[in-house]
Structure 1
């Protein structure tokens, strides 16, 4: 039989048992109330003439009704223990549910260990402390002792891991990483600004160099044109360190003779 079929059969059986238990409980309650009301005179009671030999029992119906009511109430009183037994059988029969319960109990116990709840170091005392903690937990009160013991032993085995990755250490690591991220973001912003300034300065330098080359080119052009004009007018130009001095050609020859 496949796993799905087994699961469906168990689910159907559990539902049938729950419905049957509910019907028995309702029948017992109704019969008990009706019998009590009949004894007090508010409702009629069962009439069942019963004769044993020559003796007739006129109240036999009431006795049978009272006995049946007591029997059903006794059955209802036994239902909780029967339901607990069925739940225990279902827990031990269904391995996946048991493992999920163990995993949930271990998760809660390991989280408490990371928070520093447990303080005992000896193995027996530490496991016992964890079992008591899990028993008092509101979400794990219905688990079996074996499940709590397995989860406690798993938590004790991973106590070094819980100490290493405690909430305090994890919070400190997260804070350090957040600070490093802020520093990296600040460095990235400063780097982008510095790179932008460097590019602007390089662009300005190239622009200034281009303007200087243009000025030198225009100055050379002006000198050439001005020299040609002086020659046409009969002047010669004398170049000094910073100026070009125009003088007549005769004066220039006299200065040359001297």
Structure 2
């Protein structure tokens, strides 16, 4: 809204400046012509350039100023055309915005299943009546509403394909798939964590078993060093005396 107001003020100021330049150029030309006919006095003042005195500097300045104003005035038609093109382009842009807004409203209603008539003429008339009764689009021009209604009628197949019901169903299906994917991802993460714990536990058990086996080997070695073999003599001789009457072997 503020941008539209600024553009309007800028347009008014430009038009006022163009009118002002045109009036000044016309007044300067008329007055200079009158001066040339001797019906009005020239602009008079004396100018000095170094040691040279210019007694007709005012007349010269008046003629030069008139020529400059004529030069500026020569650009007025092109400036007016440019402003007219800008205004028409702006008006066209505003109309297209209105058409787009009306089309979106009609298309949204079509997607919700509000329009039921199948005939092309009846369908356009039904959409046009909807746009006229719309609280936000009632101030639009009739031709804009007709264009939007025709566009909505042409895109009714698209509205049926992407109806609100089908879109909601598709979103629900995708939402369920996303939830299932997240659940599956959580299960996989839990399984990976369990595998890591089992691997760590198995490594600890293997280490403990290897320690036990090493200690058992050390124990067997020490027992073998301490305990003699069954056939070896203890101490190298029979230290116990044999009873009388029993021959020694």
Q: Same fold (TM over 0.5)?
A: yes
Deviations 1:115-167 (A, max 9, x none): 00000111111111100110111111111111001001111111111111111
1:185 maps to 2:168: no
Q: What is the CA distance between 1:181 and its match in structure 2? A: 1.3
Find the partner of 1:163 among 156, 160, 164: 160
**Counterpart selection for 1:249 from 226, 232, 235:** 232
- Whole-angstrom CA distance in 2 between matches of 1:91 and 1:156: 28
Report the CA distance shift for 1:206/1:10 in structure 2 as closer, same or farther (over 3 A): closer
Could you tell me how far apart the structure 1 residues matched to 2:180 and 2:9 are? 62
Q: Distance in 1 between the 2:185 and 2:90 partners?
A: 60
TM-score by length of 1: 0.56
**SS of aligned partner of 1:127:** helix
- Deviation digits for residues 9-51 of structure 1 (CA, Å, limit 9, x no counterpart): 69649xxxxxxxxxxxxxxxxxxxxxxxxxxxxxxxxxxxxxx
Give the gaps of 5 or more residues in structure 2: 14-86, 235-249
Counterpart Cα distance in 1 of 2:144 and 2:113: 22
Determine helix, strand or coil for the equivalent of 1:249: coil
Cα distance in 1, alignment partners of residues 213 and 90 from structure 2: 100
Per-residue deviation at 1:229? 2.0
Q: 1:154 to 1:108 in 2, by over 3 A?
A: same
Say what the alpha-carbon RMSD is for the aligned residues: 2.8
Structure 1 unaligned blocks of 5 or more: 14-89, 237-246, 252-258
Higher relative contact order structure (alpha carbons within 8 Å, sequence separation ≥ 6): 2
Q: Report what 1:8 is aligned to.
A: 8
1:124 counterpart = 2:121: yes
Moved more, 103-112 or 217-226: 217-226
Q: When the two structures are aligned, how many residues end up with a matched partner?
A: 158
CA contact (8 A) 1:131 1:152 kept: yes
Which residue number corresponds to residue 104 of structure 1?
101
* Alpha-carbon distance in 1 for matches of 2:88, 2:114: 29
- The 8 Å contact of residues 91 and 98 in structure 1, kept in 2 or not, is answered as no
| 2: CA distance, partners of 1:10 / 1:151 | 32
